[in-house]
């Protein structure tokens, strides 16, 4: 339906309604299309008047729709009127109406009323993040930074995750202010990004850069750059943080992987206790390895080649400088078949240690265990992203640790066409996370549509240094 352009009389509305195929929902459909077309508010009002005259009442959902229209057009006094009516009419409101009211009021001079409304919501439920977002933005727009940060802290305490928009608004609104307290809070936000491994997008990055450069007397300078593979920043020659985990993180992660990934709810699901024990003694007797290879994964790199040939190439390619290799496979690889030739397998077993798991066991879990047990220098080879193993870890902190460790220790073999040479995508040497040394900040950022997978990390950086 196309909404009318001018307010209509009751009879005209009636006529329209009769022509509509299902008159019961006519008002709803009409208001929806008014919202879509951003119709003048008077038209909606005339519809409401017609409704009120006919029924002596207006249903809640119609009121909410009207409210949506008012909020969309920023009709503040109307919003207030609707709120007054709703408040008397209904004992409590539901979250949708509150969201709208807060959003509408926070954009106006009445923004303090949005705060009182937020208090009202808190009595009943945890406010949504859009509620907090509107209030925080309103407060920081009016330079009430202290209030904004109070709301922000409250939001975090309630486990409501802030949007990047809110974080950005803090930087936008504090530009040029000289206030030590405020500066500390904003550094706190940057550390929040660090702890949760969040990468700001390009516009957010720009806000951060502008804020830094605007601090009076701060003498901060920002540059956009790409970090070298060695982990050195080309602008300030600063070496970025190592991707290695700390001792504590490392032992924590290995413990979690054994407990949650390998054993999980039932050791029998991925392996069996006997097999795992056998594997453990096997690994302990031969420690440490330099590279652990997922044999089956590597053997599928080139589909046209025999699987054992693929594996053979990979082992040859990695067996340089006396590196100690461990290849994990399954027992079916030992049976002579078209894909697995016994002679080649024998030859390989001279170059590397092999462990063959049962055909129904999961070899990935063994891969993780052997690599972690070998120590920090040990890398592993697989094209698998290991998402399902990451998912077995119970909390986000450990999952982050896992990703970080994986970035630093996974080697991915890539095939080069028509030759037997593999190219390797090296493991990351530096940690891709917001970091600081006090007088420098390095902030990775992403272009909006890039790096959308959890294993990908941004390659672009913002380098900020104090002169």
Tell me which residues touch another protein (CB under 8 A): 2, 4-7, 9, 12, 15-16, 28, 37-42, 45-46, 48-49, 51-53, 56-61, 64, 73, 75, 77-78, 80-81, 85, 88-94, 96-97, 124-125, 265-270, 272, 296-297, 300, 303-304, 330, 332, 339, 359-360
Residue 216: CB minimum distance to another protein, A:
38
CB of 92 to another protein, least distance (A): 5
3-state secondary structure 144-211: CHHHHHHHHHHHHHCCCCCCHHHHHHHHHHCCCCCCHHHHHHHHHHHHHHHHCCCCCEHHHHHHHHHH
Nearer to another protein by Cβ, of 28 and 165: the residue is: 28
Considering beta carbons, is residue 12 or 249 the nearer one to another protein? 12
* Cβ closest to another protein, residue 179 vs residue 277: 277
88 versus 157: smaller Cβ distance to another protein: 88
Distance of closest approach, residue 198 Cβ to another protein, in angstroms: 21
Nearest approach, Cβ of residue 5 and another protein (Å): 6
- Choice between 37 and 287, CB closer to another protein: 37
Q: Tell me whether residue 118 or residue 208 sits nearer to another protein (CB atom).
A: 118
Q: In this structure, what are the phi and psi dihedrals at residue 298, rounded to the nearest 5 degrees?
A: -65, -35
CB of 243 to another protein, least distance (A): 29
> Which of 88, 421 has the CB closer to another protein?
88
Q: Least distance from C-beta 172 to another protein, angstroms?
A: 27
Minimum distance from residue 76 beta carbon to another protein (Å): 8
Go through the chain and tell me how many residues it has: 467
């Amino acid at each position: 339906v196309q909404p009318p352009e001018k307010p209509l009389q009751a009879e005209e509305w009636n006529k329209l309604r009769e022509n509509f195929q299902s008159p019961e929902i006519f008002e709803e459909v009409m208001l929806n299309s008014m919202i879509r077309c951003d119709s003048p508010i008077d038209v909606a009002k005339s519809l409401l008047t017609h409704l009120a005259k006919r029924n002596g009442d207006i249903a809640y959902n119609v009121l909410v729709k009207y409210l949506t229209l008012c909020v969309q057009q920023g009709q503040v006094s109307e919003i207030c009127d609707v709120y007054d009516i709703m408040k008397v009419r209904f004992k409590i409101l539901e979250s949708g109406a509150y969201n709208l009211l807060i959003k509408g009021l926070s954009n106006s001079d009445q923004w303090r009323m949005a705060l009182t409304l937020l208090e009202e919501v808190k009595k009943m439920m945890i406010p949504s993040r859009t509620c907090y977002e509107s209030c925080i933005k309103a407060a920081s727009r009016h330079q009430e930074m202290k209030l904004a940060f109070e709301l922000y802290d409250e939001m975090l305490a309630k486990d409501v995750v802030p949007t990047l928009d809110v974080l950005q608004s803090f930087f936008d609104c504090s530009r040029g202010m000289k206030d030590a307290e405020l500066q500390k809070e904003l550094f706190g936000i940057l550390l929040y990004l660090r702890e949760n491994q969040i990468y700001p997008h390009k516009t957010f990055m720009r806000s951060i850069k502008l804020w830094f450069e605007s601090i009076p007397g701060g003498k901060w300078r920002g540059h956009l750059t790409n970090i070298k593979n060695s982990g050195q920043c080309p602008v300030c020659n600063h070496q970025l943080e190592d991707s290695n985990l700390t001792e504590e993180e490392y032992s924590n992660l290995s413990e979690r992987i054994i407990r949650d990934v390998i054993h999980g709810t039932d050791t029998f699901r991925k392996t069996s206790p006997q097999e795992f024990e056998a594997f453990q003694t096997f690994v302990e007797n031969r420690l440490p390895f330099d590279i652990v290879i997922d044999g089956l994964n590597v053997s599928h790199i080139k589909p046209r080649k025999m699987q054992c040939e693929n594996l053979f190439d990979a082992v040859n390619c990695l067996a340089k400088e006396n590196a100690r290799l461990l290849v994990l496979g399954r027992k079916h690889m030992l049976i002579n078949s078209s894909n697995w030739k016994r002679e080649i397998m024998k030859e390989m077993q001279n170059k590397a240690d092999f462990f063959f798991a049962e055909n129904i066991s999961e070899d990935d879990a063994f891969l993780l265990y052997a690599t972690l047990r070998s120590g920090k220098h040990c890398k592993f080879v697989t094209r698998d992203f290991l998402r399902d193993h990451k998912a077995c870890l119970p909390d986000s902190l450990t999952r982050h640790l896992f990703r970080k460790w994986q970035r630093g220790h996974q080697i991915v073999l890539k095939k080069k066409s028509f030759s037997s040479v593999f190219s390797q995508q090296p493991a990351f040497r530096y940690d891709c996370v917001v970091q600081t040394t006090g007088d420098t900040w390095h902030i990775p950022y992403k272009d909006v549509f890039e790096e959308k997978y959890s294993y990908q990390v941004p390659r672009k950086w913002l380098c900020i240094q104090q002169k």
